[in-house]
Amino acid sequence: MKKLVVAVSIALFVIGCGNQPATGTDAEAVSFNDQVMEASCGQCLFSMGEGGCDLAVRIDGKGYFVDGTGIDDHGDSHGKDGFCSVIRQAKISGEIQGDRFNVTSFKLLPLEKKDSQ
C-alpha cells in the first residue's frame, strides 16, 4: 500500500510540474521610444553565437538580434566605422519580443571623434 501511495504521489507531482504558460516579463513585450543604445554586429562584437553577421542591440548588458532593419542598411558593416568593426550608438524605438528586438525606428548616431593628443 505504501508503494502505491508513493507512486501516485510521484505521478501527481510530475503532472503538476508540466509545462506552465509564461507569466510576468517573459510573456510581455518591453517597449522603448527613442532610446539611445548600443548597436553592433551580434556575432563580431557582442559574442552572440555563430554564423554570419547580424545586427544586434545591447540593453542592460544583454544582446538582442534585431528585426525590422539589417546590418548593411546603415552603411558597410565591414568598413572602419561599420557594425562589425565598432560598437555604435543609435536612437531606437521598438520592443523586446522574447529574445529578439523588433525595431520600428533606428537612427544611427555619428561617431564621437577622439581628441588627438
Q: Hey, what amino acid is at 36?
A: V
Q: Is residue 6 domain-resident?
A: no
Q: Is residue 37 domain-resident?
A: yes
pLDDT of res. 7: 53
HSE-CB at 25 with a 13 A cutoff on CA atoms is 5
Q: Is residue 115 domain-resident?
A: no
Q: Is residue 53 domain-resident?
A: yes
Query: What pairing do the DSSP bridges indicate for beta strands 100-108 and 62-67?
Result: parallel
Residue 87 contacts by C-beta under 8 Å, 6 or more apart in sequence? 38, 39, 40, 45, 58
Q: Is residue 65 domain-resident?
A: yes
Q: In terms of residue numbers, what domain contains 93?
A: 30-108
Q: Is residue 64 domain-resident?
A: yes
Q: Is residue 68 domain-resident?
A: yes
Specify the number of domains making up the chain: 1
Q: What is the mean pLDDT of each run of 10 residues along the chain (117 residues)?
A: 55 45 56 96 93 94 96 94 96 96 96 66
pLDDT of res. 13: 47
Please list the residues that pair with 89 across neighbouring strands.
Answer: 38
pLDDT of res. 3: 62
Q: Is residue 92 domain-resident?
A: yes
pLDDT of res. 21: 39
pLDDT of res. 113: 72
Tell me the pTM.
Answer: 0.72
